[in-house]
C-alpha cells in the first residue's frame, strides 16, 4: 500500500514520522557521476500504496505508519484521526492465510494489489501540524508538501519514477519566532529508481544529486519503488468484515515494522474495516510504536484511511501520533496530525 506514509501507515503511513531515528550514516553519491544511492531507512513511513503511486494500498509505499526522526526539532508525523467505530484492541476471528495479490474470500471487501503501469500519474499532497515540547521549550512545526509522480518503469513492482517536488518545506515556531525551512528538493525534478536495494536518483537532466537531496528522496520513495510494503501484505492476509476488530498477530507486526524507520517497531495494534461503498473501503488503524536508539520511548498512532479496492491504492489518509520520547537525553512530548490526499491522473 504504497504511501500509506509513512507510509502508512500508515501505516500507516502508513509516511508517518513519530519517533524512530534516522539512520546515522549519510547518503553518499554513487560511483556514477550522475547518480547516487541511499539506504533509505527500513521501508519508510508512509504513505501510503500501489508501487509508485499512492494511497494506503499496495504496490510500493508504506502507509499510515508511525515512525520518524527523533531529532532535536522532534519532527513527527502520523496519519490522522478517526479511530472510528470499533478500533479498540481485539482478537482475530479468522485465521490469517498466505499472502497473494488478493485478500481472502469471506470478507465484505475484496482487496486487489496491482503495480501501477508505465505512464500512471498521481499527485500527493501532505499537510502536517505538530505541537511539541522539547525539554521546557514549546515547538510548533507545520509542514506542507506537494509532489507530482509519473511511473517510468514497472513490472512486479514500480521500478522507476519521475517526480517533481512542487512544494516541500516546513515552518518552525519556537519562543515566538518562526522560521521557514525549504527542503533541498523543493521546486526540483528527479528520476528515481532502486539499485542494489538502495534508492538512487538523478536530476531530470541526468546530473548528480546532492547528499541532502538523496536523503530526502530515499526517505520519500524507499517504500514506493522496487518493493511491496509490509502494510500491503498485512491487509491482503486477512478477510475483512465490517465493524470487526482484528488484532495484529506476530506476522502482521513484523510486516508493519519493516515499513518503519530504523530504530522503531510496532508492538501491538488493531485494524478495523469501518465501511465499504462500491470500490471504496474505509479502515481504522490503532497501533503502538516503540522507539530505540537516539530516540527512546513509546508512541501511539491512530489513523483512518480511505482506499480504492481494485487496484488497492490510497485516496485519503488522516492520522494522529502521540509522542513521548527521550531524544539524546532530553524529553520530548506532544502530538502530530497529518492529512494526505491523492489525485490520480
Report the alpha-carbon distance of residue 204 to residue 200 in Å, rounded: 13
Report the alpha-carbon distance of residue 229 to residue 227 in Å, rounded: 6
Whether 131 contacts 73, CB under 8 Å: no
- Residue among 177, 165, 141 at smallest CA distance from 213: 165
Whether 11 contacts 4, CB under 8 Å: yes
Collapsed DSSP state (helix, strand, coil) of residue 146: strand
For position 37, what pLDDT does the model report?
Answer: 54
For position 196, what pLDDT does the model report?
Answer: 87
How distant, in Å, are the alpha carbons of 148, 157, 193, 314 from that of 53?
Answer: 10, 11, 14, 9
pLDDT digits (tens, 9 = 90+) for 58-67: 333 333 333 3
Q: How confident is the model at residue 291 (pLDDT cuts 50, 70, 90)?
A: confident
- Residue among 11, 27, 125, 133 at smallest CA distance from 77: 11
Q: How confident is the model at residue 292 (pLDDT cuts 50, 70, 90)?
A: confident
Can you tell me the mean pLDDT for 97-116?
A: 87
**Structure-block grid coordinates of residue 93:** 476471528
Most confident of 24-33, 55-64, 115-124: 115-124
pLDDT digits (tens, 9 = 90+) for 157-189: 899 999 999 999 999 999 889 999 999 999 999
- Residue among 65, 8, 68 at smallest CA distance from 332: 68
More confident position, 316 or 70: 316
Considering the chain, what percentage of its residues have pLDDT values greater than 70? 71
Regarding pTM above 0.85, the answer is no
Give the domain ranges of the chain.
9-344
> 255-259, 311-315, 341-345 — which is least confidently predicted?
255-259
How many other β-carbons are positioned within 10 Å of the β-carbon of residue 267? 14
Tell me the DSSP string of 71-92.
-TT-----------TT-S----
**What are the strands, taking DSSP E only, across the chain?**
9-12, 28-29, 36-38, 121-134, 137-154, 158-174, 177-182, 188-195, 198-203, 245-247, 264-277, 280-291, 295-309, 312-327, 330-344
For position 36, what pLDDT does the model report?
Answer: 55
Amino acid at each position: 500500500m504504497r504511501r500509506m506514509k509513512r507510509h502508512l501507515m500508515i501505516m500507516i503511513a502508513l509516511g508517518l514520522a513519530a519517533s524512530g531515528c534516522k539512520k546515522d550514516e549519510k547518503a553518499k553519491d554513487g560511483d556514477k557521476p550522475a547518480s547516487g544511492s541511499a539506504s533509505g531507512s527500513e521501508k519508510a513511513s508512509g504513505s501510503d500504496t500501489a508501487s509508485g503511486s499512492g494511497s494506503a494500498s499496495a504496490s510500493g509505499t508504506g502507509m499510515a505508519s508511525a515512525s520518524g526522526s527523533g531529532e532535536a526539532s522532534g519532527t513527527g508525523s502520523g496519519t490522522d484521526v478517526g479511530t472510528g467505530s470499533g478500533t479498540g484492541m481485539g482478537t482475530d476471528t479468522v485465521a490469517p492465510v498466505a499472502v497473494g495479490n488478493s485478500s481472502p474470500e469471506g470478507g465484505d471487501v475484496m482487496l486487489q494489489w496491482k503495480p501501477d503501469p508505465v505512464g500512471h500519474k498521481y499527485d500527493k499532497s501532505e499537510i502536517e501540524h505538530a505541537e511539541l515540547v522539547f525539554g521546557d521549550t514549546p515547538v510548533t512545526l507545520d509542514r506542507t508538501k506537494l509532489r507530482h509522480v509519473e511511473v517510468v518503469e514497472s513490472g512486479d513492482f514500480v521500478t522507476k519514477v519521475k517526480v517533481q517536488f512542487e512544494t516541500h518545506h516546513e515552518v518552525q515556531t519556537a519562543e515566538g519566532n518562526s522560521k521557514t525551512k525549504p527542503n533541498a528538493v523543493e521546486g526540483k525534478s528527479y528520476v528515481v529508481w532502486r539499485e542494489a536495494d538502495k534508492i538512487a536518483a538523478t536530476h531530470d537532466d541526468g546530473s548528480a544529486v546532492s547528499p541532502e537531496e538523496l536523503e530526502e528522496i530515499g526517505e520519500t520513495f524507499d517504500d514506493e519503488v522496487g518493493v511491496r510494503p509490509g502494510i500491503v501484505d498485512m491487509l491482503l492476509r486477512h478477510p475483512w468484515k465490517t465493524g470487526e476488530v482484528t488484532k495484529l498477530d506476530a506476522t502482521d507486526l513484523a510486516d508493519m515494522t519493516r515499513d518503519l524507520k530504523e530504530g522503531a517497531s510496532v508492538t501491538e495494534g488493531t485494524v478495523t474495516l469501518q465501511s465499504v461503498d462500491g470500490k471504496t473501503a474505509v479502515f481504522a488503524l490503532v497501533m503502538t510504536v516503540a522507539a530505540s536508539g537516539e530516540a527512546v520511548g513509546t508512541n501511539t498512532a491512530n489513523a483512518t484511511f480511505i482506499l480504492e479496492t481494485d487496484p488497492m491504492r490510497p485516496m485519503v489518509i488522516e492520522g494522529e501520533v502521540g509522542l513521548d520520547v527521550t531524544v539524546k537525553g532530553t524529553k520530548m512530548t506532544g502530538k502530530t496530525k497529518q492529512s494526505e490526499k491523492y489525485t490520480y491522473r
